[in-house]
Amino acid sequence: MTVLPPHAVSRSDIAHGRQGVTEGPLGETNDHWSGFVAQGKKDSFRAVEGEWTVPLVHGSTEPDCYSSIWVGLDGLPSNDVVQAGTEQDSAILTKTGILEKYYVWTEAWPQQPTATQIASIFPGDFIVVYVYVGDSKGNIDPSGGYAWFTMQNQTDWEEYTTPPTKLGKSFGFSGTSAEWIIERPIVSGAFPELSDYSFLDLDGAYVLPATGTTMETYSKAASVQLTMRQNYDSPFLYDDNVLSTVTGDAYCSNCMVFYWKNFH
């Protein structure tokens, strides 16, 4: 494994903050996230993990399509979230064709209201992401005041090392939830179209509970299943289209499968 220092770039246009959830015909719905969420009392979850192969995405006739895949702690229903994952975007450029961007990123929202791009990656890369809150030395500690992110590209045998994010006193980390999510991020204050990722297997979905030192599978801990639906957001009209769904894998307790349905 080659350890690479990150070339961190602040993406001032892209944010992955939490959004409200409502009841819908496919269970709980959201215009921002699809995936599974484990919920519990304060300090129920101390670390979260997931792994996936970066999908090749496609855009539509609209200028820009975005998608993010990530794991995180807090965020539903708390007002903060520490998260890390991959971004897969497709943009139509005049006269020059289509530009696709793939990279790994971290964010501690709302302290960091936009994402930090860590390193470029490629479709087909196998990424492992591990997120936790700990002390300044890297020990897992929900009250430790630092967000830690470990990201490995096991295709290229590269690990992206990032310094921990020091959380301010007002951050409010509670450890009440853990997430495994595909998202259309907020771009310049609005929702773009969702990149066509076709389908995605997210494996190795584990969470570290408050007691013990052994990770448990998401299927044992998860209590909320989210479906992404279109809501009103100019220039798109409200049509309640299903954009992205997720289902558990009957043959793998730590695996889930996401399906792309619509751009908007």
Sequence ranges of the domains in the chain = 2-260
Homologous superfamily, domain 2-260: Peptidase G1 (2.60.120.700)
pLDDT in tens, 174-188: 999 999 999 999 888
Q: What is the pLDDT along the chain (264 residues), one digit of tens a residue?
A: 666 556 566 665 666 765 554 444 444 778 889 999 999 999 999 999 999 999 999 888 767 899 999 999 998 888 899 999 999 998 765 566 667 899 999 999 999 888 899 999 999 999 999 999 999 999 999 999 999 999 999 999 999 988 999 999 889 899 999 999 999 998 888 888 999 999 999 999 999 998 878 999 999 998 899 999 887 555 555 577 899 999 999 999 999 999 999 998
Using alpha carbons, select from 142, 240, 131 the residue that is nearest to residue 180: 131
- Strand-pairing partners, residue 117, are 9, 105
The DSSP element (H or E) to which 218 belongs, if any, is helix 218-221
Give me the residue label for tokens 């751009």: 263
Which value, to the nearest 10 degrees, does the dihedral of the CA atoms of residues 149, 3, 50, 113 take? Answer: 30
Residue 140 to residue 210: CA distance in whole angstroms? 11
Sequence-separated (6 or more) residues with CB below 8 Å from residue 170: none
